[in-house]
Structure 1
Amino acid sequence: MDDYYFFSIVIPAHNEVGYVEYTIEHLKEIDYPQEKLEVIIVENGSTDSTLDVIRKFSPSWFKIISIEESGVSKAKNIGIENLSENSNWAIFLDADTYFEKDFLKDLNKYLHEHANENLGCGMVSLLPYPDSKKARCWYHFYNFANKTTKTTRSIQIIRRDLLKDLRYDESLTFDEDTMMIRQCRKRAKYFFFKTNKVYSSTRRFEKNGWIKQLFQWMYYASLPYNKKKKIKYKVLR
């Protein structure tokens, strides 16, 4: 296929020294026309050597931005403000999430096949890393829950034109992605792209416990907006 969408990958990175190198190395291997791709990494308020690692391993065509204030929503919004004018789709990717080198070609094909359906925002199915039978079982349910509730975790894919006047809520330390997708869904359709080429870290499940983490997310998701703003989501590294 000759038609390639321009993808902008935005990665917020806060104290991600243990993961961001791995993510960068996979991004460097992407099999996609470089003139139709940009990677924007927004290091925000790290107290470790995250910024040094990003600078060391990123190629020259990556755009690296560093801000003093920490905050995932603020970092994503900085990414939005620095998107190329040629961008068609923005992919907001957690620093502990990566995809295989031909994933973007698969996504590009999917979006072209559904170009007449007003798709505007969505997510993909995730696989766990490190891998285990237990983790795969949980992620199977995890994917089903996101697809059913039309929400996202670890990765959000949003059509560029929707971001002209939409921003992530900087008063939230959790569920900012759900709130953004909710706004996007008022203007376009949500999609869930099934793939076996995107991987997300199990670190929060491993540290908090699989059942405890699941119910914590369910509880937080059920809270009204004014109570979500009071949550100080714990950073786990």
Structure 2
Amino acid sequence: QPGYIGEQVNKSLDHSVRSMPPSSYRILHLIVHALIGSSACSPATLNFLCRHNKTANNTEQYCLGHIITDWTVLRQILNCSDENLALLFHSLLTTMTQTPPPPSMLRTSAERETWETQFTRNYVSPLIRSVTETVTNFRTALAAASTGQGNNANIIESEIDQTRAIDDEYRLSKLPQLWRKIDIITFNSFRAYYNGNLAQYQAKYPFIAVFFKYSERLEMIKNLWPIVQFVQTLSSRLSYRI
């Protein structure tokens, strides 16, 4: 069965293995290659890669290519900035440190799939359901930690900066009154919202998953009717000659 090592770089937003959603797969895939890349200077690491990938001859370049691809795809899937994605990873690693998964040896494909399902359910899904909320909560935790270390001045300064940011231009563009818009409504934000709870939404709205998968090709449908009209016209004019 396919795993995380030995495959070629894949930039598809829907790429995954087994039952993992793409977001969970990309996060785990990036972590695995970051761990392998951290020991790139070891000859044993290159031998390990060569056993699983016959074309891998440079550990650093191999891992870097996968890490950059996973990072770029995750930014698209979750519709977030580099900074927010970095904070999301920090939040994930913090959660796994505080409540680590039980130690286990994955000897069979069934055990591996069970571990992947638990990883997605316990760690990834709660965080990507709302990336904005996850990042905000992690920033709050960082601020609280700074307060405990006596950095009150930095927190007060950041709060003042947040107040200064709400100027006339901000009020005109964002219109913060009773309701405040927390995100820009775009196709990418809609896809990120859908991927935030993929298992539920995919079962409830399966057509949307198909739409996202082929969204780049669906624009070509607008050319279908003119082609049909042309064929019909051509057939009516020339069919008697055939």
TM-score for both structures, normalised by structure 2: 0.23
Normalised by the length of structure 1, the TM-score is 0.24
Work out which of the two has the higher radius of gyration on C-alpha atoms and give 1 or 2: 2
Identify the structure with the greater strand proportion: 1
Structure ranking higher in helix proportion: 2
